[in-house]
Amino acid sequence: MLRDLLIITKKNYVPKKMKINVFADTICGWCFIGHTNLNNALKKFTDVKFDIRHIPFQLNPDMPVEGISRNKYLEIKFGGKNNATPMYENMKFKARESGMNFNLEKIKKTPNTVLSHILIILSEKYNLQSEIKEKIYQSYFIDGLDIGDINILIDIAKKNNIPETVFRDFINDKNVENVNSKILTAKMKGINGVPFFEIGEDFISGAQSSIELESVIKSNLS
């Protein structure tokens, strides 16, 4: 009798649901930290079904398709490597707090991120957006690879069972425009920096800690 009762209860159980939109760029270290902290926060809610959408953003929309050297980027963006060092040291410190070791000295090129965003959009069809996005982040911030290089992205796709031919076919004018359209939508919302999270009814800017994100999720479930 008790067993039957437990089965009936389980069948009638409806998990809580929550939609989360994550706006990010794949060359944004703070976005990688925010991505990691969000994933850690989500682990606390085993009874909640999350609908997480990864929405593209470009910090450098005018970046040449082939990208530019890291040193040239630091010169243009910050006036030189020395001026950028304090910010990047703080970023590395925050990454370590989240359990990651950024190897920024390995980065030789700052890429255009459109192709990486196209791969993330494609990965939604395979229910692999979070995994693909994390691998792209790791490839750039830990391995120092050029994530604007289609061959690097193909390798990531293939290792996650996304066929090379499918990815190559997905790279077309329509999907480039799709990325640009999503970025425009973000800017129309007033989003000028990333990471940016829409969690339930709340808007959260910046790489917040997993504890802070957990608190926001809780407040939207109550």
Task: Assign 199 to helix, strand or coil.
Answer: strand
Neighbours of 136 (CB within 10 A): 25
pLDDT score of 174: 97
CATH topology assigned to domain 17-217:
Glutaredoxin (3.40.30)
186-193's contacts with Cβ under 8 Å and 24+ in sequence apart are 186/23, 186/55, 186/57, 191/23, 191/57, 193/59
Q: Are strands 109-110 and 196-199 parallel, antiparallel or unpaired?
A: unpaired
Q: Compute the chain's Rg from CA coordinates.
A: 19
What whole-number distance in Å separates Cα of residue 34 and Cα of residue 28?
A: 10
What whole-number distance in Å separates Cα of residue 207 and Cα of residue 87?
A: 14
Indicate whether this model's pTM tops 0.75.
Answer: yes
Per residue of the chain (222 residues), what is the pLDDT tens digit?
444 444 444 445 456 899 999 999 999 999 999 999 999 999 999 999 999 999 999 999 999 999 999 999 999 999 999 999 999 999 999 999 999 999 999 999 999 999 999 999 999 999 999 999 999 999 999 999 999 999 999 999 999 999 999 999 999 999 999 999 999 999 999 999 999 999 999 999 999 999 999 999 999 998
pLDDT score of 143: 98
What whole-number distance in Å separates Cα of residue 150 and Cα of residue 74?
A: 23
Yes or no: say if 175 and 50 are a contact pair by the CB < 8 Å rule: no
At position 191, the amino acid (one-letter code) is I
pLDDT score of 222: 81
pLDDT score of 59: 97
